[in-house]
A and B are shown apart, each in its own frame.
Chain A
Amino acid sequence: MNYIIPQSELKVVGTRPVRPDGVDKVTGRATFGADMTLAGMIWGKMLRSPHAHARIVAIDTSRALALPGVRAVVTAADFPDIASEEAFVGEGPMNFRDLSRNCLARDKVLYEGHAVAAVAAASQSVAEAALDLIDVTYEVLPHVIDVEAAMAAGAPILHEDMFTVGIEPKPTKPSNIAKRVAFAKGDAEAGFREADVIVEGRYTTQPVHQAYIEPHACLAQVAADGQAHIYSSTQGQFMVRAYCAKVLGWEIADIRSYPMEIGGGFGGKTLVYLEPVALALARKAGRPVKMVMTREEVFRASGPTSGAVIEVKIGARRDGSIVAAREVLKYQAGAFAGSPIGPGCMCGFAMYDLPNVDVVGYDVVSNRPKVAAYRAPGAPITSFAVESAMDDLARKLKIDPLALREMNGARDGSKTHYGVTHRDIGFLATLEAARSHPHYSAPLKPGQGRGVACGFWFNIGGESSGAVHVNEDGSISVVSGNPDIGGSRASMAMMAAEVLGVPIEHVRPIVGDTASIGFSHLTGGSRVTFATGMAVTQAAERVVDQLKQRAAQIWEIPAEAVEWKDGKAYPAGLNAGAFEPLSLAQIALKAGRTGGPISSEVTLNAQGAGPGFGCHICDVEVDSETGHVKILRYTAVQDVGKAIHPSYVEGQIQGGAAQGIGWALNEEYIYDKDGKMENAGFLDYRVPVASDLPLIEAVMVEVPNPRHPFGVRGVGEVPIVPPMAAVANAIRAATGLRMPDLPISPPKLRAALDAASGAKAA
C-alpha cells in the first residue's frame, strides 16, 4: 500500500501537540450539553415508573397542568404510535418502535425508571413539584430481572409479540428470547474427541454502566412554523436529528441538531432519551426547554451494557494445539431486544486459529433498562469467559499463557469461526511485544499474582464528511460532523496539517452542526480517526490540488509544473527556480482572482477498517482479610495501526483498561426483590477512583492498516476487552481461586477465600 506520505517524512502525524480545544476545557469555557441557555428557556423533567413491570391503566395530567408555572405536559399520546421498523444505524441494531417506547412508555412500563410523562415549567422546582401531580394508575405485573429466569418457561413475558427469531419451526408462543444466533466451523464434537485436555467453565457478568461523568442533557427550541433546533450532548448530531424526526414524525430538514461538547459517552450516547421529549415539550410550550438527567436517572434509565451467562469449553492436544471450542452465551438486552449478542458470538474465539468451533447465543429481554452500546459491545463479556478458560488451559497443560496464545493465535490467512479470513492483522506482533515487555518477566512477591488476557475488536468505518477551507488569510478551517469525545479535533487538524504541509497552529478544527457539514455517522466504534480522518485527508489533498492550480494561474504555467512542499507552491520541472515560492497566504489572497474560494468537502463511506488486538498484563495482591484486590502494575499492549496523536491513543488504552478493571472488581447493577435498582449513584455504583489504580503503561504496536492513508486503525474499543480476564487470571495466580462471577468484589472474594481455607482446614 502507498501511504500518502512515507512514514519517515511525517512532520505532524505522530507528534504530541496541545489539542486545539484544550484551553477551553481547562478553563471551564467549553460548552457542554447542560451549559447551553436560550432566552425564555424553561425546564423539563421526566416522570419515571416506580415499577419494574406494569400496565399503564390511565395517566391524568390535569392537576399538574393546573400548577402555576407549568407550561406543558407530554405523554406517549403526544407522539405517533410508530410501526416496528428494524434498522441498523451507526452503532447497532435499532427498532424505531422500541426507541419511541423507550423515550416514553406506551401501554406498559418495562423497567423501574422507564419514562412515563414529562413536564415543562418555569423553574426546576416547579417542574419537580408538577411531577408529583401527574396521576398514573398502574396495574403492577410480575417482573423478571435475571437472564436465565427470563428464558425459563413460565417467566413473565415482556412483549406479547416477541417470538424467538432463529428457531425452526417458528415458535407459536411468545418468549423473552428475542433471537438465537449460531456460528459453527468444522465439527466441534469430533474435535473434542481428539482432545487430551479439556477445560470448562460457567461465567457470569453483571450489567455495567458506561458511567460517563456528564449526565444526558439537551436544549430544544421549536419555532411556530415547526422548524426546530436541538442542542445536545451526544455522540452524533445526525443521529439525534434522524431519531427525533422518526420518533416525532417530523421531516429531517425541519430539525437542526447542534452537538455540544460531550462529557463522555463510550457508546451510551448513541441513542436518544430526552431529545424527542424536549422537542415535543418545546413545541407545546412555545418556549425553549432544557432537560438534564440526574445521575440517578442516568443509572436507572440509560445504558448500561448487558450482563450475561456464558458457558465455555475448550479442548487441546497435549502440545497445546486447540482442537475444539464451544461457547453458549446468554446476553441481557434490557427491556427491548438488541443486546450485542452477534459480536459476542464472534469476538471470543476471533483471536485464535481453531479447526472446530460451535457458538450459540441468545438475546434476552428482561425488566431492566434497554442496553446501549458500550465500547466493543459484546466483546468484553465473551472474552472474560474465553480468556479465563485459556488461562485454565495453559495451567493444565503447564504451558506459558502467552505461549499458548501464540501457538493458537490468529495470523494472516487464519479463518475465523464466523467465516472471515484475517488479513493484515497484528495479533502475533502484539503478543510478542507483551512477552518481551519487562513487566512480563518482573519478579513477584509471595501473595502476588500475574495474569494476562487478550482482546479483539473489528473496528468500523462508515459514512463521514470532512471539509477543509482555506480562509482569506491562508489559515485553515477543518470541519467535521463528529463530536470530539476524546481528542478527534486534534487528530483531524493534524492529518490536514500534514497533507497541507503547515504547522498545526494554522489549522482550526470545528465540529459542525447538521446544517454545516455533510451527514456523518456518529462518533463511536473507534471510527472517527479512521473514517472521518480519511474524509479530511482526502479533502486536504483536493485543496492541495486547487492550491497548485491557483499558483499555476498566478505564474501562468501548467498546474502539473507546480509542486506543493512545506505549505508552499514551488515551480517545478522546466520552471524550477523561475518564480519565488507562493505561500498559502499569498495564494489565498488571490483566491477570488483565480476562481473563487479554495475549499473542498469530501463525503464517503469508509470501508476496510482494520481489526485491532490487545494483550494486557496485570499484577495483583489480594488482602485475605478483606478480599480487596490491589492492582499493583498494569501494562496494556495494543496493535494501534498508526498513532496520529500518540498521547490520545495511550489515553484510550489507559481509559479502556481502567473501565475494564472497574467491571472486573466493583461495578454492577444491584436489584431488590421488586426489581428496583438499589445502587443508582456513584457512592454505591463504584467506578475506579485515582487511588484504586496504578499508572497504566500503554504500549503501542504499530502495524499499519493498509486501507487508511496514514495506516490508522480504531483504538478505542479493544482496550476494554482484556481487563476482566487479566484481573481474574491474576487473582487466580495469587490465590489459586478461579473467580467466574463478576464483579470480583471484596465480599465475594473473601467468601471464596474463607470457603477455600475452610475446605483446607477440614
Chain B
Amino acid sequence: MSKHHVTTTINGEETEFLCETQETLLDVLRNTLNLTGSKEGCASGDCGACSVIADGTLVCSCLMLGVEAEGKTITTVEGIADGETLHPVQRQFLEHAALQCGFCTPGFIVATKALLDANPDPTEEEARYWLAGNLCRCTGYDKIIRAVMDAAAEMRGEARAA
C-alpha cells in the first residue's frame, strides 16, 4: 500500500508528511507529526476535541482526510499562542478556571478563536450555539462561556464583560 505525499502549512510552518489514504488529518497530526494537542474523543465529528482551523474554517480534524490537507493552511491548538505569549482566549480560560480535566480544552480554544475571528462581538447565545459542537463533560460550560465573552471583550479592547 503506497502512501501519499502531502505538502501543507501547519501552524505557520511548511510541513510535508506521508499518509495512507484512509488516515484522517487527526491521525496524521497525532501519530505522524506528534501534534497530540488535538484530541480524539469520538472520531465521528460529535465532540469537537479535535477542532482545527483549515483555511480559515473550523473543522473536526477527525472528519478530514490527511490527503485533504494538501495545499491548505492548518492551525492546531499548538499554533494558537504566540511563542511564550498566550492568546487572550487561552489566558481567559485560565483566569476563569474554564477547564477541569482539560481534555476538551484544546478543541474549545481552537473553536473559540475561530468564533472570535468570525464574530468579534458574539452574544452569549451566539457563543453557545457556535460552541455546541464542542462537548465538555466537566464544567457545565458556565465558566467556558464567561471566558469566551471576556476574551471577546479583551480582544475588542473593552473592559471585562462580566
**New A-B contacts (14) at CB < 8 Å, excluding given A16-B97, A690-B144:** A18-B95, A26-B105, A213-B47, A213-B135, A213-B136, A263-B41, A263-B104, A645-B97, A648-B100, A651-B138, A651-B140, A655-B139, A659-B140, A683-B46
B134 partner residues in chain A, CB cutoff 8 A: 689-690
- The answer on a CB contact under 8 Å between B137 and A691 is no
* Stretch of B63-71, B75-83, B152-160 on the interface side: B75-83
Is A295 positioned at the interface, with any CB of B under 8 Å from its CB?
Answer: yes
Is A212 positioned at the interface, with any CB of B under 8 Å from its CB?
Answer: yes
Is A214 positioned at the interface, with any CB of B under 8 Å from its CB?
Answer: yes
* Stretch of A27-35, A280-288, A408-416, A581-589 on the interface side: A27-35
A690-B141 contact in complex given A487-B100, A647-B97, C-beta closer than 8 Å:
yes
B132 partner residues in chain A, CB cutoff 8 A: 689-692
Number of chain A residues whose Cβ lies closer than 8 Å to a Cβ of chain B? 62
- The answer on a CB contact under 8 Å between A27 and B43 is no
Is A693 positioned at the interface, with any CB of B under 8 Å from its CB?
Answer: yes
Nearest residue (CB) in B for A123 is B20
Is A264 positioned at the interface, with any CB of B under 8 Å from its CB?
Answer: yes
B101 partner residues in chain A, CB cutoff 8 A: 212-214, 261-265, 485-486
- The answer on a CB contact under 8 Å between A28 and B41 is no
Query: How would you classify the secondary structure of chain B's contact residues: helix, strand, loop or mixed?
Result: loop
Contacting B at CB under 8 A, from A661-685, are 681-683
Is B99 positioned at the interface, with any CB of A under 8 Å from its CB?
Answer: yes
Is B142 positioned at the interface, with any CB of A under 8 Å from its CB?
Answer: yes
B81 partner residues in chain A, CB cutoff 8 A: 27
- The answer on a CB contact under 8 Å between A28 and B106 is yes
B137 partner residues in chain A, CB cutoff 8 A: 210-213, 264, 266, 655, 659, 687
Is B109 positioned at the interface, with any CB of A under 8 Å from its CB?
Answer: yes
A687 partner residues in chain B, CB cutoff 8 A: 135, 137
A659 partner residues in chain B, CB cutoff 8 A: 137, 140
Please give the distance in Å from B19's CB to the nearest CB on chain A. Answer: 12
B97 partner residues in chain A, CB cutoff 8 A: 16, 19, 487, 645, 647-648, 650-651
The 4 closest A-B pairs by CB, nearest first: A28-B37, A263-B103, A658-B140, A25-B102
- The answer on a CB contact under 8 Å between B138 and A682 is no
Is A22 positioned at the interface, with any CB of B under 8 Å from its CB?
Answer: yes
Nearest residue (CB) in B for A34 is B40
A525 partner residues in chain B, CB cutoff 8 A: none
A29 partner residues in chain B, CB cutoff 8 A: 37, 78
- The answer on a CB contact under 8 Å between A28 and B35 is yes
- The answer on a CB contact under 8 Å between B40 and A486 is no
A213 partner residues in chain B, CB cutoff 8 A: 39, 41, 47, 49, 101, 103-104, 135-137
Is B36 positioned at the interface, with any CB of A under 8 Å from its CB?
Answer: yes
Assembled-state Cα–Cα distance A27/B133 (Å): 20
- The answer on a CB contact under 8 Å between B131 and A261 is no
Is B90 positioned at the interface, with any CB of A under 8 Å from its CB?
Answer: yes
Assembled-state Cα–Cα distance A691/B129 (Å): 5
Assembled-state Cα–Cα distance A211/B137 (Å): 7
Is A541 positioned at the interface, with any CB of B under 8 Å from its CB?
Answer: no
A693-B141 contact in complex given A28-B37, A215-B40, C-beta closer than 8 Å:
yes
Give the interface of B toward A (CB within 8 A): 20, 22, 30, 34-44, 46-47, 49, 76-78, 80-81, 86, 90, 93-97, 99-106, 109, 125, 127-129, 131-146
Assembled-state Cα–Cα distance A292/B42 (Å): 11
Please give the distance in Å from A529's CB to the nearest CB on chain B. Answer: 13
Task: Say which residue of B77, B86, B144 sits within 8 Å of A28 (CB atoms).
Answer: B77
- The answer on a CB contact under 8 Å between B103 and A683 is no
Assembled-state Cα–Cα distance A214/B86 (Å): 24
Chain A to chain B contacts (Cβ below 8 Å), 8 pairs: A28-B35, A32-B39, A34-B30, A214-B41, A264-B138, A265-B101, A486-B101, A690-B141
Assembled-state Cα–Cα distance A657/B140 (Å): 7
Nearest residue (CB) in B for A29 is B37
Please give the distance in Å from B107's CB to the nearest CB on chain A. Answer: 9
Please give the distance in Å from A312's CB to the nearest CB on chain B. Answer: 28
- The answer on a CB contact under 8 Å between B109 and A682 is no
Assembled-state Cα–Cα distance A31/B103 (Å): 10
B99 partner residues in chain A, CB cutoff 8 A: 22, 25-26
- The answer on a CB contact under 8 Å between A654 and B42 is no
Of the listed residues B47, B96, B101, B106, the one surrounded by the most CB atoms of chain A closer than 10 A to its CB is B101
- The answer on a CB contact under 8 Å between A294 and B43 is yes
Nearest residue (CB) in B for A645 is B97
B42 partner residues in chain A, CB cutoff 8 A: 295, 681-682
A654-B140 contact in complex given A31-B36, A295-B44, A691-B132, C-beta closer than 8 Å:
yes
Please give the distance in Å from B45's CB to the nearest CB on chain A. Answer: 8
- The answer on a CB contact under 8 Å between B41 and A19 is no
A693-B140 contact in complex given A32-B103, A125-B22, A682-B44, C-beta closer than 8 Å:
yes
Assembled-state Cα–Cα distance A134/B65 (Å): 29
A647 partner residues in chain B, CB cutoff 8 A: 96-97, 143
Assembled-state Cα–Cα distance A683/B103 (Å): 19
Nearest residue (CB) in B for A634 is B140
Please give the distance in Å from B86's CB to the nearest CB on chain A. Answer: 7
Nearest residue (CB) in B for A262 is B101
Is A23 positioned at the interface, with any CB of B under 8 Å from its CB?
Answer: yes
Assembled-state Cα–Cα distance A651/B146 (Å): 12
Please give the distance in Å from A621's CB to the nearest CB on chain B. Answer: 15
B142 partner residues in chain A, CB cutoff 8 A: 650, 654, 693, 695-696, 698
- The answer on a CB contact under 8 Å between A25 and B105 is yes
Is A741 positioned at the interface, with any CB of B under 8 Å from its CB?
Answer: no
Contacting B at CB under 8 A, from A502-518, are none
- The answer on a CB contact under 8 Å between A261 and B141 is no
B43 partner residues in chain A, CB cutoff 8 A: 294-295
Task: Say which residue of B49, B106, B128 sits within 8 Å of A690 (CB atoms).
Answer: B128
A485 partner residues in chain B, CB cutoff 8 A: 100-101
Is A21 positioned at the interface, with any CB of B under 8 Å from its CB?
Answer: yes
Assembled-state Cα–Cα distance A412/B36 (Å): 51
A645 partner residues in chain B, CB cutoff 8 A: 97
Assembled-state Cα–Cα distance A213/B94 (Å): 20
Please give the distance in Å from A326's CB to the nearest CB on chain B. Answer: 34
A698 partner residues in chain B, CB cutoff 8 A: 142
A690-B145 contact in complex given A18-B94, A648-B97, A682-B42, C-beta closer than 8 Å:
yes
Assembled-state Cα–Cα distance A26/B143 (Å): 14
Nearest residue (CB) in B for A686 is B46
Of the listed residues B103, B125, B146, the one surrounded by the most CB atoms of chain A closer than 10 A to its CB is B103
